[in-house]
Structure 1
Amino acid sequence: MSVKVFNNSKHKWLSEIRQHMISEELEAVFLKRKSNGYSFSDYSEAKKWVDKLKNNGYKDYSNDDWLFYEGDKLLSKNM
């Protein structure tokens, strides 16, 4: 099953946020190869991508609360 990421601070799914970013810096090409661009094959891939977002100078997202879902089940919070 796939893992989806929700930004609980901004109330948006990662797919909505992703449309407004510079994709090269966050390796969007890599993301598309590993997933469909909106969900990830597993939790570790999703967490790695969110960690890059939080640590690469995107101040708008660095302190946000992220939720990871597999289907309707909450897997983890990344604050």
Structure 2
Amino acid sequence: MLLEAGDVIPVDGVYIDGHNVSCDESSATGESDLIKKVPAAAVMQGIREGNTNIKKLDPFLISGARILDGVGTFLVTAVGQNSSH
């Protein structure tokens, strides 16, 4: 699926590719911090290279999150009652 600033994500998914994607997940998680998303391939590369700061790399998009900045594509992993929101 495509995503851009202003979208509310209706499904769960994994961020594949894009530019400067960040979102507000407060409706789903209660956290008010802006979450910067990292493409899944970059996360995998960090794991392979032994990146010790891997917890900061987040490729997951959860239903109910609002895209605040950027554009990109993501792979849908869960919909409806199977999604997290």
Same fold (TM over 0.5): no
Higher helix fraction (1 or 2):
1
The TM-score, its normalising length taken from structure 2, stands at 0.27
The TM-score, its normalising length taken from structure 1, stands at 0.28
